[in-house]
Amino acid sequence: MTSVEDIKRLVLKPFQNHRQLSIKEADTLSLEILDLLSQSDCKDQSTLKYLANFLTVETYHDLIEERNLNKKCGYPLCNRCQNRIRDPYGGNATANRFLQQNNPYAYLSHYCSKFHYRCSQFYEVQLTNEALFVRIGVHLDDKIQGDVPKLQSVSLLEELIQGEELEEQNLISIVSGIGKLNIQSEEGAHGDEKEELEKDLSGWLSQIKIVENKDPHPMGDFFKDET
Ligand SMILES: [Zn+2]
């Protein structure tokens, strides 16, 4: 299993002598991340969140594909294999594409379960498409970096389901994530999938707990204007 420390030690260390990565270095770093996480799984939620600093949607898709080839569920936090390992369509790419698009259970070829399919979609829509080499300083260690780089703030679907309290900042990324999921399903999927996504979304939303005020007045807003 891979932890944040492992990523720093095994992948980032050789790149930490300067703040800005060249395009070539960024490519090498991406490949090493892919290599590491297609052969092992994230140790915990913080590792998956930290990983977002080094991924684009494109490299995340590559990662899912690589994990599937290694018989792993596409969601990097999972240690199971995908539900359907064998390609039932015998490698015919056209037939495959058709069936992937028209089979409501196609996600089982990539994930262990529908839950991890949703977790993965939810993670993906929060990834930035900014190229890695322009994300100045993300690869530096907290201890040695001068000014702190802007790290990606990502929320995981599990956190919502577990009913963890969320900071306002995370709520913003969730709402924008859900918005993007909706748009994605409008563009691509057929009616059934959209309906199912909406059902899942309303389920998730009912689980969210937000920390609005750390120390609310016991009588709520009633006494707000009194001094
Ligand atoms: Zn899984």
CATH number of the domain encompassing residue 127: 1.25.40.820
The confidence band for 14, taking pLDDT boundaries of 50, 70 and 90, is very high
Identify the pLDDT of residue 25: 95
- The residue among 204, 170, 200, 203 whose CA lies nearest residue 185 is 200
CA of 27 to the centre of ligand 1 (A): 27
Is there a domain that residue 199 lies in? Answer: yes
Instruction: Give the pLDDT score at 31.
Output: 97
* pLDDT on residue 214: 52
How many angstroms separate the alpha carbon of residue 83 from the centre of ligand 1?
8
Query: Which residue segment(s) compose the domain that 53 sits in?
Result: 4-83+106-212
* Cβ-count burial 101-134 (b if 16+ within 10 Å, e if not): eeeeeebbbbbbbeebbbbbbbbbbbbeeeebbe
Q: What is the Cα–Cα distance from 58 to 132, expressed in whole angstroms?
A: 11
Overall pTM surpassing 0.90 (yes/no)? no
Q: Share the mean pLDDT of the chain.
A: 80
What's the number of domains the chain is made of? 1
Q: pLDDT tens digits, residue range 156-198? A: 888 877 666 666 666 666 666 777 777 766 666 566 777 787 7
Q: Which two tokens stand for residue 28?
A: 């090498």
Q: How far apart are CA 68 and CA 60, in angstroms?
A: 12
Residue 227 has pLDDT above 50, yes or no: no
Task: Note the pLDDT tens digit of each residue in 82-129.
Answer: 888 765 555 677 776 676 666 777 889 999 998 899 899 989 988 988
* Reported ipTM exceeds the 0.90 cut: yes
How many angstroms is it from 120 CA to the middle of ligand 1? 9
Kind and range of the H or E run holding 99: helix 93-102
Q: Is residue 155 a part of any domain in this protein?
A: yes
CA of 114 to the centre of ligand 1 (A): 9
Taken in order 18, 21, 25, 26, is the CA torsion positive or negative? positive
Mean pLDDT, range 139-162, rounded to an integer: 73
Distance 21 CA to ligand 1 centre (A): 32
Going from the Cα of 171 to the center of ligand 1, the distance in angstroms, rounded, reads 24
Find the 185 Cα to ligand 1 centroid distance in Å: 21
Q: Are 69 and 56 in contact (CB under 8 A)?
A: no
Query: How far away, in angstroms, is 14 Cα from ligand 1 center?
Result: 31
Q: What is the pLDDT of residue 205?
A: 66
How far does the centroid of ligand 1 lie from the alpha carbon of residue 72, in Å?
A: 8
Q: In this structure, is residue 89 part of a structural domain?
A: no
Q: How far is the CA of 174 from the centre of ligand 1 (A)?
A: 21
